[in-house]
Every structure is written in C-alpha cells, then in structure tokens.
C-alpha cells in the first residue's frame, strides 16, 4: 500500500550571520508539524536549508573582508548544527550553492522562458556601487554637497541596466482565481487578505536578473546576468525533489503540502512563486502558512547567562524540549509573540514540572512501590476510568484538526487539557487511600493513570520528542508501538509487564543564583 505523502518546508535562511531565535522558532514549529504527520502514518519529506546567493550575502561579506562564498562556508555549518541541536527531523538540508540547485534554477528559467514569460528590458533606479544595491527614491537623500546618498550613507547614482523581466502582470487574474478557488492556499486569514488586495491593486512585471555582480546562478544562454536571488531561492523547494527530473524517487512529494515561512516573506511565496510555477507548468503548493515574529521582551533572560537570545544558549540553559514546548505552546502559531525568562521558566514549572511531570512521577513511584514494579492489574474499569481514557484518545482527533491548519498551540493545548483532567482524576480517586481499603481498585486507578500517560506521551512526541520518549521508556512501551495508530484500546498497556525504575522526566527550572551556587 502506498502511504499518503506529506511535503513540508521551512524558508531557507540567509547565512549572513549566526542563526537567531526567529530561525530556531520556524524550524521547531515546522519540525513539530512534520513529526505529527509522520506519527500519523504519512510518508513525510521535511526540507530546510540556506539561501547563500544575493546582495545581502555580498554586502555582509564585503564588510567582513570575505568573499560571499567564504561567508557562506563559515556560517552555514552553524545552521546545520542548529538543526541538530534543536532535534529537527529534516530529511535533507539544501544549500543554494550546490550543483543540483544550479541545474534546477536553470531548468525552471528555461521553462518560464519557453512559455514566453521572460523578456529582456532595462531596469533603472538609484544605485549604490559600494552597496551593489538599488534604492527607492524615498530611501535616498540629496545632501548639501550636491551628492545623493543611500540609506547606508554611500553615494548613489541613476543607473539603467539591462535586465530580464518576468511577465508577472500576465498572472494577476490567474492568481486571483486561484486564491478564490483555494481558500486555504494562504494562511492565516490576515495574510491571505493582504495578498489578495495586493494582487488586486495590480501586478507589475518583475526584474529577475542582475548584471552588477556575479554572485548567483548564471542565466542560461546569457551568462553576464545572474538570476535575482528570489527566483533562485524559491526554486530550492523543487531542487530538493530532483527537479528537473520529474520521474525521480522524490518527485512524488510535489506539490508541497505546506511552505512554512515568516510573515515578511509572504508575498514572495504567495504571489511570485505560484506565478513562476504556473509559467513553468508545474502544480502549485497546497498551502503557504506565515508565522509571526518573535521578540525578546527586553529583560535580561538570566543573571548568570546575560541576555539569552541565541538559540544555542537558550537550549543549553533551559533544555531542548523545554524551549520547544515554550515556543509552541506560548505563541499562537501565526501571531507575533515574545519571550522572557519569566515566561519560559513559568511554563516549564507550571505545565511541565507540576502538571505532566508530577502526574508521571507520583503514579509511577506508587506503581514501583505497590505493584511490584510492573504494569498494575487492570480490573474492571469504572466510569471515571473510561472517561479519562476516552479523553486521552480524543486529544488525537483534536490534534489532527488543529495541526491540519497549523494551529500547533491548539493541538498542544488539547493534550495539556487532558493532563489537567488526569491530575484531577488522580487526586479524586486518591489511590494512596485505596492502598489499605481496596487494593484492587488502587491497581485499576494506577493502571488507568499509566495508560493515560502512555497516550499522552505518544501525543507529546511531535513537540517534545526526547522527553516523550523517556516517558514511554518508563512505561516499557516498545519503540515500534509509539505511533498514533497505537493510541487506541487494542494497544493498551499489558498488566504484569515489568517497568524500569521511575525517574523524573520534567525537572523544575531553578536559576543557578536561586540555589545559591552561582555560576
């Protein structure tokens, strides 16, 4: 049986500096979406990478006295390391300087040209030789010395250069029709509305080549031009699937199910990219989802570490799953959000240590002490047992619905509502009091709690893969019994199965200075 495919991508980052928290946020969220579909039985392809061409890279390289290639060689490994440190489950990491990508870009260019959508014209504007960039009139200033300056303080001159253009204007009606017929093409709704009104207001043809520098993919047949970086960058999504070979192993993943991007680059993904694809005769992605921006709320994150903004330090300080949980739960995906030490520590201690961690620790220690370290006897399930078990199972359906529209926070909230309910169940049934009065009932309550924990741990895997795996280990759930298909009744814990000694999975976050140890 062939499984349903699911192709998901992040934007590819400019490696003109070290990865920052925005890059980490996008990767963590996309990873959770990818893991969810994988656990749900889909054949998933998850892509991330770096966008190494273009003027941004050149300008930073120049400032640092490097070539753009050397800058990319220096910084891209940091993005690759970030993917590892964040536990990203990406299937490939694409770099736009790779040979496979040059081939794909030249092929899509030829396809668009073959369709009559590329023509040679001229591009003019205020150009800074030093910045190698064009600026809008409003970004420049004519000073008293009679010279016009750009926003970086470098002189600009009026330049007209030969440039290839893409006939974007010809796609206005087709794009509007596509948005109309595919209401889920752009999410969230605010971004969709912005794009629809932008396209309605009229599209101008797009300059898609440059002759003032050579850091890019050469235009086929006219190598003094390099492609505009966004033609090159967007094409990465099909390069990784083997384009132009549409008969290869990976082509089955096209069209993408969702491109996850930040809100500042929605226009490129929801207007230019579908127009390029229509022109090249390729199917369009099913959805483009724009997340919000993350801001550091100003405060020092911790006295001992200073202002923690880089993802590596954040993970080292709070723990990987703690950071993943915080970003995914705290910020409604699609909206802007902020982070601060208080907010992160608060979430870790309230949700993870107190709610989920305590439930696991209390019930598993009771089992170790009172049930011979084995999965307790199940007995006859009473109404409250059946109710909480059903709630844990229902969180899967809620998660599916939410993750289908990238509402990661809602899927995670559905899991933690069950955690809260399971705590009420455990307190209400008070197994410690049953130990003397009704030991059989105590075992049933502990069995039910352990089984609820098993379901919750399976459901937590997309967001907190490491901690969820440790919890499943404590419940002696075999590695092959951890998918969403294993949540239901047919796969319930088997009484009498030996369990490893319990160990805490979600420690409280305590700052070094609070313990008096300093650092």
Instruction: Return d(Cα 229, Cα 12) in angstroms, integer.
Output: 12
* Cα separation values, 441 from 23, 43, 363, 368, 430, Å: 50, 43, 14, 16, 10
- The encoded tokens of residue 438 equal 């009704």
* Closer to ligand ME8 by Cβ: residue 55 or 234: 234
Report the residue from 60, 293, 312, 421 that binds ligand ME8 according to the rule CB under 6 A. 293
b/e per residue, 415-425, with b = 16+ CB within 10 A?
bbebbebbbeb
- What count of Cα atoms within 13 Å lies in the side-chain half-sphere of residue 70? 9
Give whichever of 263 and 317 is closer to ligand ME8, judged by the CB atom. Answer: 263
Token match 């384009």: residue? 243
Query: From the list 11, 29, 320, 446, which residue makes contact with ligand ME8 (rule: CB under 6 A)?
Result: 11
By C-alpha distance, which of 230, 203, 231, 270 is closest to 112? 231
Q: Which residues make Cβ contacts (< 8 Å) with residue 160, sequence separation at least 6? A: 122, 123, 124
Quote the tokens at residue 33. 């979406």
* Residue 78 Cβ vs ligand ME8, minimum distance, rounded to whole Å: 12
- CB-wise, 259 or 509, nearer to ligand ME8? 259
Question: Which tokens sit at 60?
Answer: 């930073």
In terms of DSSP bridges, do strands 5-9 and 258-262 run parallel, antiparallel, or are they unpaired? parallel
194 sits near ligand ME8 (criterion: CB under 6 A): no
In the complex, minimum distance from the CB of residue 74 to ligand ME8, in angstroms, rounded to a whole number: 15
Among 7, 25, 135, 215, binds ligand ME8 (CB under 6 A): 25
Q: Does 108 bind ligand ME8 (CB under 6 A)?
A: no
Distance CA 417, CA 351 (A): 10
**Complex with ligand ME8: residue 255 or 262, whichever CB lies closer:** 262
Residue number, 272 or 484, with CB nearest to ligand ME8: 272
Element housing 294 (H / E): strand 294-296
Q: Token pair for residue 255?
A: 């069209």
Nearer to ligand ME8, 287 or 391 (CB): 287
Contact partners, residue 90, CB within 8 Å, separation at least 6: 31, 34, 46, 47, 48, 83
Judged by CB under 6 A, the stretch of 21-29, 78-86, 434-442, 477-485 that binds ligand ME8 is 21-29
d(CA 451, CA 386): 11
Minimum Å gap between C-beta 235 and ligand ME8 is: 8
Burial (CB count within 10 angstroms: exposed 0-12, middle 13-18, buried 19+), residue 221: exposed
Give the Cα separation of 96 and 210 in Å (integer): 17
Please state the closest distance from residue 295 (CB atom) to ligand ME8, in A.
7
CB of 137 to ligand ME8, least distance (A): 25
Contact 501, 367 (CB under 8 A): no
Distances (CA, A) of 352 to 29, 450, 519: 18, 17, 25
Min dist. Cβ of residue 22 to ligand ME8 (A): 2
Q: Of 34-42, 121-129, 198-206, 258-266, which segment contacts ligand ME8 by CB under 6 A? A: 258-266
By CB under 6 A, residue 234 contacts ligand ME8: yes
Considering only the stretches 10-18, 189-197, 310-318, 459-467, report the one whose residues sit in contact with ligand ME8 under the rule CB under 6 A. Answer: 10-18
Site string for ligand ME8, 26-45 (x = CB under 6 A): x-------------------
Q: How far is the CB of 181 from ligand ME8 (least distance, A)?
A: 24
Q: Does the protein bind ligand ME8 through residue 57 (CB under 6 A)? A: no
Minimum separation from the CB atom of position 505 to ligand ME8 (A): 29
Residue 237 beta carbon to ligand ME8: minimum distance, rounded to whole angstroms: 7
* Residue 151 to residue 143: CA distance in whole angstroms: 12
Q: How far is the CB of 293 from ligand ME8 (least distance, A)?
A: 4
Q: Which is nearer to ligand ME8, 213 or 483 (CB)?
A: 213
Q: Print the binding letters for residues 264-283 with ligand ME8: x by CB under 6 A, - otherwise.
A: xx------------------
Please identify, among the stretches 186-194, 228-236, 421-429, 451-459, the one whose residues bind ligand ME8 according to the rule CB under 6 A: 228-236
> CB-wise, 238 or 261, nearer to ligand ME8?
261
Nearer to ligand ME8, 107 or 460 (CB): 107
Residues 61-100 contacting ligand ME8, CB under 6 A: none
**214 vs 264, which CB is nearer to ligand ME8?**
264
Q: Which of 6, 7, 8, 14 binds ligand ME8 (CB under 6 A)?
A: 14
| Helices 439-460 and 408-429, packing angle to 10 deg | 170
Q: Choose which of 7, 13, 150, 315 interacts with ligand ME8 (CB under 6 A).
A: 13
> DSSP string of 168-188?
GGGGHHHHHHHHHH-TTSEES
What's the closest the beta carbon of residue 348 comes to ligand ME8, in angstroms?
A: 21
DSSP type of residue 127:
E
Question: How far is the C-alpha of 11 from the C-alpha of 297, rounded, in Å?
Answer: 25
Read off the tokens for 362: 């209390």
Contact status, residue 423 vs residue 356, Cβ threshold 8 Å: no
Q: How far is the CB of 100 from ligand ME8 (least distance, A)?
A: 16
Residues in the chain: 519
- Binding residues for ligand ME8, rule: CB under 6 A, are 11-14, 22-23, 25-26, 51, 233-234, 236, 261-262, 264-265, 293-294
């Amino acid at each position: 049986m062939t499984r349903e495919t699911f192709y998901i991508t992040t934007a590819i980052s400019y490696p003109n500096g070290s990865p920052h928290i925005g890059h980490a946020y996008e990767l963590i969220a996309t990873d959770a979406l990818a893991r969810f579909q994988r656990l749900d039985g889909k054949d998933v392809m998850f892509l991330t990478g770096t966008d190494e061409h273009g003027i941004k890279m050149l300008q930073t390289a120049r400032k640092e006295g490097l070539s753009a290639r050397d800058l990319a060689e220096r910084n891209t490994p940091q993005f690759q390391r970030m993917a590892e440190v964040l536990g990203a489950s990406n299937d490939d990491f694409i770099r736009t300087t790779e040979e496979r990508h040059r081939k794909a870009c030249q092929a899509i260019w030829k396809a668009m040209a073959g369709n009559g959508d590329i023509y040679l014209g001229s591009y003019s504007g205020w150009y800074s030789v030093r910045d190698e960039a064009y600026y809008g009139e409003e970004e420049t200033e004519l000073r008293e010395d009679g010279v016009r300056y750009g926003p970086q303080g470098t002189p600009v001159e009026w330049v007209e250069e030969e440039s290839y253009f893409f006939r974007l204007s010809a796609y206005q009606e087709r794009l509007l029709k596509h948005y109309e017929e595919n209401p889920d093409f752009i999410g969230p709704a605010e971004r969709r509305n912005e794009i629809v009104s932008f396209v309605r207001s009229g599209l101008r043809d797009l300059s898609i080549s440059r002759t003032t520098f050579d850091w890019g993919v050469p235009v086929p047949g006219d190598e003094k031009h390099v492609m505009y970086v966004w033609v090159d960058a967007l094409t990465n999504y099909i390069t990784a699937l083997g384009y132009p070979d549409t008969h290869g192993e990976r082509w089955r993943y096209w069209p993408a199910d969702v491109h996850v991007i930040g809100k500042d680059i929605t226009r490129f993904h929801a207007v230019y990219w579908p127009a390029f694809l229509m022109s090249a005769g390729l199917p369009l992605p099913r959805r483009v989802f724009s997340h919000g921006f993350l801001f550091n709320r100003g405060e020092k994150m911790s006295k001992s570490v200073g202002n923690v903004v880089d993802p590596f330090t954040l993970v080292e300080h709070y723990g990987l799953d703690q950071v993943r949980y915080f970003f995914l739960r705290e910020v409604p995906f699609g909206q802007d959000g902020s982070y601060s030490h208080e907010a992160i520590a608060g979430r870790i201690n309230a949700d993870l240590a107190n709610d989920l961690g305590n439930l696991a620790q209390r019930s598993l220690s009771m089992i170790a002490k009172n049930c011979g370290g084995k999965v307790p006897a199940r007995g006859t399930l009473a109404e409250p047992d059946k109710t909480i078990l059903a709630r844990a199972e229902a969180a899967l359906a809620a998660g599916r619905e939410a993750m289908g529209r990238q509402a990661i926070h809602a899927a995670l909230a559905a899991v933690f509502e069950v955690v809260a309910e399971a705590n009420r169940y455990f307190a209400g049934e008070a197994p410690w009091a049953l130990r003397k009065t009704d030991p059989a009932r105590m075992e049933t309550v502990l069995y039910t709690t352990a089984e609820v924990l098993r379901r919750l741990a399976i459901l937590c895997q997309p967001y907190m893969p490491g901690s969820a795996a440790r919890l499943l280990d404590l419940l002696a759930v075999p590695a092959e019994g951890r998918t969403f298909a294993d949540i239901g009744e047919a796969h319930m814990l088997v009484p009498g199965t030996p369990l490893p000694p319990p160990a805490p999975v979600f420690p409280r976050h305590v700052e070094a200075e609070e313990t008096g140890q300093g650092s």
